Amino acid sequence: VMAMFVVVLIFTFVFRTVSVQGQSMQDTLFENDSLVISKLFYTPKQGDIVVVNSVVLDNRIIKRIIAVEGQKVEIDSKSAKVSVDGEALDESYVKCDGSFDDEYFDERYYDKEKQVYEYEVPEGCCFVMGDNRNHSTDSRVIGYVPYDEIVGRVLFRFAAGNDEVD
């Protein structure tokens, strides 16, 4: 009985399980993959995969952190290149056909001279994108994600799940 009580406490306050819904993180995560997440002592870092309780979308989503507060993101939609603070990211995990669909961008961030989308991440926020870039509603559309909307960082994937995220 005591062991069950400890397990319930751990999965209530330390870890949570979620199930992936949608294709925005393919080929890293797939529909119905089940994940263990945690926010305990978590500080958002570039490259982390996180579950976000998006106020803008009124839905839970799963995305990869591309940049954190104070960093500058540049996205060339024609070449599908993403740079943070002037350095191109090595994104071998991205599912893309060589360019990004412009429908996933807010035109307010387009620099016509450079022909790139530019974002400067404000304090207390991060910039997130799905790995399946042409099938992901992310910071290019919904804007910056406040740290307090992060439900947790993905720790690992396993077989069974419960809560749905996209």
- Flag whether pLDDT at 85 surpasses 60: yes
Neighbouring CB atoms inside 10 A of 111's CB total: 10
Which tokens belong to 143? 């804007």
At position 94, the amino acid (one-letter code) is V
Please check whether residue 35 is in contact with residue 29, taking contact to mean a CB–CB distance below 8 angstroms.
Answer: yes
The pair of structure tokens assigned to 13 is 């306050």
Question: Does pLDDT of 165 surpass 70?
Answer: no
3 SS3 class: helix
Better-predicted residue by pLDDT, 125 or 27: 125
Q: What is the CA radius of gyration of the chain?
A: 17
With 0-12 CB in 10 A as exposed, 13-18 as middle and 19+ as buried, what is 123? exposed
Tokens of 11: 């999965």
Annotated active-site residue in 54, 63, 77, 136: 63
Tokens 């940049």 — which residue?
A: 67
What's the CA gap between 81 and 75, in Å, rounded? 6
What's the pLDDT score for residue 161?
Answer: 42
Token readout for 94 is 């991205």
Respond yes or no: is residue 63 known to be catalytic: yes
Task: Check residue 166 and give its pLDDT.
Answer: 54
Q: Which of 26-30, 70-74, 107-111, 113-117 has the highest mean pLDDT?
A: 70-74
State residue 160's pLDDT score. 40
Span 89-147, pLDDT tens digits = 999 999 887 788 888 888 899 999 999 999 999 999 999 999 999 999 999 999 999 99
* Catalytic pick among 24, 54, 77, 136: 24
Decide if pLDDT at 71 tops 90: yes
**pLDDT recorded at residue 117:** 96
pLDDT digits (tens, 9 = 90+) for 38-65: 988 899 999 999 999 999 999 999 999 9
Q: To which residue do tokens 């387009």 refer? A: 110
- The set of residues, in sequence order, having a beta carbon less than 8 Å from that of 15 and lying 6+ positions away, is 36, 37, 38, 155
Q: Cα–Cα distance between 112 and 124 in angstroms, integer?
A: 28
Residue 162: pLDDT band with limits 50, 70, 90: very low
Are 9 and 154 contacting, i.e. CB atoms less than 8 angstroms apart? no
Q: What is the pLDDT of residue 98?
A: 79
